Amino acid sequence: MDDVELIKQKLNIVDLISEYLTLKKSGVNFKTVCPFHSEKTPSFVVSPERQIWHCFGCQKGGDHFTFLMEKEGMEFKETLEFLAKRAGVTLQKTPQKTDLKDRLFAVNLKAQEFFHYILTKHNLGKKALQYLKTRGITEGSIESFGIGYSLNSWESLTKFLLKRGFTVAEILGSGLGVSSKSGCYDRFRGRITFPLIDGKDQLRGFAGRVLYPAEPKYINTPQTPIFDKSNFLFGLNLAKGEIRSKKEAILVEGEMDVILSHQAGFRNVVASKGTALTEGQVDLIKKYAENISLSFDMDLAGDSAARRGIELADRAGLNIKIIQIEGEKDAAEAIKDDPGIWQKAISEAVAIYDYYLTSTAKRFDTKKSADLKKIGEELISIWAKITNDFEREKYITRLAAFIKTDEKVIRDAVNKARSTTLQRNYSQVFQQTAQDNVILGKNRRELLEEYLIALLLHPPLDFTFVPNFPETLFFKENFRQIYVLLVLYMDSISFKSEAFNISEYVSGLPKELLSEVDKLYLTELDGKLNDPKNWQKELEAVVSELKKALIKASLERLSLEIKNAQEFGNMEVVESLNKRFRDLSVKLKNL
C-alpha cells in the first residue's frame, strides 16, 4: 500500500471536512452547501463509505487530498506532508527518476540562464536592457521576474543547449526550438523573454516580446507536455501570498502590466495572457481568493469569449469586478504616468453586472425603443446565468428600470431563459420532448445513460437483481465498461446471496472509471426508489426509453439510406430498407 492510500485509510474524510464545514446526515451520506461556489440548496455530498466528496453544482470532487488542495490552496506535496503528519504516517522515500518532463523543466532552466545572462551581462543585451529601463522596469524587477533577452540569431540558443547535453528532441519538446531540415532553430529571436513560472515555482515556458519591428509582437511557448496556456497565470508564483492575504486577485492582460504593478506595490496582480478566462485559470484563482477584478483593454460585454470566461468565474462562486482606467490604455501605462491612477481605478472597480448595464448604455441609444429592446435581449441571457438568487433578483429590478419595462416581464423572461439552461432532476428526463432535448450541454440520451448507471449503483437493500439488457444500450464507452463489470459483480453476489457493496465493486474497477462511478454513486435519488418495486419499475422505464432512442437513431439512418437508394433508382434496395423501416417502427410502437 502506498503512502496516499495508507493516509486515506487512517483518516476519516467526514472528520476532516467537518473541521471546515457543517455536515448534515442525508441517508448514508452527508450533505452541506458547497464551499467552492455560491448556492442556496446543498449539493456538496460526502460519502463515508467511499471516503470521497462531490459537488453536483460545480462538479468538483475527490478525496481528502483534493479537498485540502481546493480549500487551502495547498500543493500536492504540501498536502501529502500535512496529512501524513496528522495520520502518523512516515512517508517513504522513493528514488528520483528522470523522465521527459524533468528534462523539459531542465532545458527551460538552462535557457533561462542563457537569456538572463545575455540581458544583464552581455553587450548584445544592452539595447534590450535600455528598452526595459525606458518602460520603467527596475533592476530589482528584472531579477525577481527573471527577465532575459534572446539573441537576434537563428541558432544561438540551440547551439548553447546542445553543448550542455540536451538533445534536439528535448529542445523541440520544450517549445524552445522549431523543427527544420537540419534539426531545429530558435523560436525566440530578438525578443525580451519573460519566464512563465507557475504557482509551484516551476519554469514551464517563455513569453517573448519583440525588440525590433516584427510580427507577431508577442509569442509564447506553444502547448507542450509541461505548458498549457489555459491553466497558467503569469506572476502567480510571486502574487499568490498577497492574493490570499487580500482575498482578491487582480487580472490584467500582459506581462508588463503585472511587472509594473508589483513594482509599484500592487502585488496581487496576475496576467491571464488573453481576455477569455478559462476554467483552469478560474480554478487557480479559486485556490487563493473569492474575489477577482478584471482590467482588460477592451469592452468585455461585447466579447462572447470573455463573457464565457466571466460565466465560468460566476459559476465557481467568485465575486467579479471590472477595473476601468480613465484615459489610459492599460495598467502599465497608468502606473508609468502616475501609480495613483491605477490605485484609483482599482478602488473604483464596479461589479460585473453593473458594468454590463453601463456597457450597453454606451453601445446603444437608450432613447430609442428598438435599442432598449436589444439591450433587454442581450442582458436577459446574461442575467439568466447569474448563479446567486439574490444577485439575480437585484439586477432584474435594475434592468427593468433601465429599459423602462415592467419588472414581472423581465423576471418571466429571465426565468424562461434559465429553464433552458438549468439541469433537471434525472426523473424529469422522461418529460423531455424532441424540441427540448439538450440540458446543460448533455442530450437526453446521455442523461438517461447516467441515470441508469446511478440506479444500478443504488439497488434497494436485500434485493437480488442481475440486469440482463445488452451493453450496446449505452453509447458512451465508459458506461459500457462500468455496466459489464456491474453485471459480473451483481451476478457473483447473487450467486452467493450477498448484499451490494460499493467498495467491493469499485475495488475491481480500472482507475479511469472510478471518478465516473463516484459521481454517480453520490447522486441522490428519489426516496421512493428504496422500495424494490418502484426501483425496478423506474429501471425498466429508463431501459425502455434508451431502447426507443436506439430505434429512433436506426430509423433516422434508414431514412437517409432509403432516400439515397431512391435517388439512384435502386428499387430492390429501397424495398428491403422499407421493410426494415416498417419492422423497426412496429417495434418502437410496442415498447
Which grid cell is 493? 453476489
pTM (two decimals): 0.61
Q: At the fourth CATH level, which superfamily is domain 100-227? A: DNA primase, catalytic core, N-terminal domain (3.90.980.10)
Is the Cβ–Cβ distance between 236 and 198 less than 8 Å?
Answer: yes
- C-alpha closest to that of 466 among 521, 536, 550: 536
pLDDT value of position 438: 39
Q: Give the highest mean pLDDT range of 305-309, 343-347, 466-470.
A: 343-347
Is the Cβ–Cβ distance between 257 and 346 less than 8 Å?
Answer: no
pLDDT value of position 428: 54
**Domain limits of the chain?**
3-87, 100-227, 231-350, 364-419, 431-571
CATH class, domain 231-350, is alpha beta
- C-alpha closest to that of 285 among 17, 70, 62: 70
Q: What is the mean pLDDT of the chain?
A: 87
Which grid cell is 350? 464596479
Contacts 24+ apart (CB under 8 A), 391-396: 391/353, 395/353, 395/357
Q: Give the highest mean pLDDT range of 108-117, 373-382, 406-415.
A: 108-117
pLDDT value of position 436: 42
- C-alpha closest to that of 525 among 471, 584, 450, 591: 450
**Banded model confidence at residue 589, pLDDT cuts 50, 70, 90:** confident
Q: Tell me if the domain spanning 3-87 has CATH number 3.90.580.10.
A: yes
**Over the stretch 424-464, which tens digit does the pLDDT of each residue have?**
445 555 555 444 443 333 467 888 888 999 999 999 887 88
Question: Of 33-42, 46-55, 165-174, 362-371, which range is least confident?
Answer: 33-42
562: left (phi over 0), alpha (psi -120 to 50) or beta: alpha
Is the Cβ–Cβ distance between 256 and 147 less than 8 Å?
Answer: no
Checking if the pLDDT of 511 tops 50, the result is yes
Report residue 38: phi and psi, to 5°: -80, 125
One-letter identity of residue 269: V
pLDDT value of position 38: 76
74 exposed, middle or buried (CB, 10 Å; 0-12, 13-18, 19+)?
Answer: middle
Question: Of 248-257, 420-429, 447-456, 548-557, which range is least confident?
Answer: 420-429
**Over the stretch 82-123, which tens digit does the pLDDT of each residue have?**
899 888 888 886 555 557 888 999 999 999 999 999 999 999
412-422 mean pLDDT: 74
Which grid cell is 518? 463516484
